[in-house]
Structure 1
């Protein structure tokens, strides 16, 4: 359980493993570009370390101010015990 910062196709993303499921978000707070990977988990959300904006790990939805825009979430699949991420634009 936890999360890991990864680079996929020149893009920084955070892969989360929570309650047996995997989720992936861009490693960027939409408020000021802060790195979500430096934040702390709060259940199924991540809190940006800069100003405390909170994002839903499952959807990327911005849950609290000062963020007003969602961050991108990416599709995660498990095949043959390996984790695959499909990036969204």
Structure 2
């Protein structure tokens, strides 16, 4: 588990409807951070169906979901739940915070 927070971007560089990808250097985990109507959410940047980055997909702000471009699996950005086949397992969700005019996240898994 990483206790070190990873810098994502300046707070004003992640506007509602946008997403940013980062890499947790401590755990080697790719993370994607979403701004959904001003609230921030972070998921592992990997589809649970087939190892492919979610950030390449479309962020649907009206549904609050991200769609994997590979096979169309969709995940709720708020909690990582798989919304349709071919994905059945949720995408891991990570903490995200605003601090010192910046956005931060970390892989908090044991």
Q: How far 1:79 moved relative to its partner?
A: 2.2
Q: 1:34 Cα deviation (Å)?
A: 1.4
Unpaired runs of 5+ in structure 1?
Answer: none
Output the aligned Cα RMSD. Answer: 1.1
2:69 matched to which residue of 1?
49
- Aligned partners of 2:24 and 2:106 also within 8 Å: no
The structure whose RCO (Cα within 8 Å, separation 6+) is larger is 2
Aligned residues: 89
Give SS of 1:17's match.
strand
Counterpart in 1 of 2:21?
Answer: 5
Q: Which digits, 9 at most, give the CA deviation of each residue in 1:63-84, with x for residues without a partner?
A: 1100010010101111232222
Give TM-score, length-normalised by structure 1.
0.91
Asked if 1:14 corresponds to 2:32, the answer is: yes
Q: Distance in 2 between matches of 1:6 and 1:80?
A: 18
Q: Which has the higher strand share?
A: 1
Q: Which residue of 2 aligns with 1:26?
A: 44
| Structure 1 runs, 4 residues or longer, greater than 3 Å off | none
Q: How does 1:44-83 map to 2 (within 5 A)?
A: 44-83=64-103
Q: Could you tell me how far 1:87 is from its partner in structure 2? A: 1.5
| Structure 1 residue 88 displacement after superposition | 2.5
Larger Rg: 2
Q: Deviations over 1:38-60 (max 9, x none)?
A: 00012210000000000000101
- For residue 37 of structure 1, give the secondary structure of its aligned residue in structure 2: helix
Structure 2 unmatched runs, 5+: 1-15
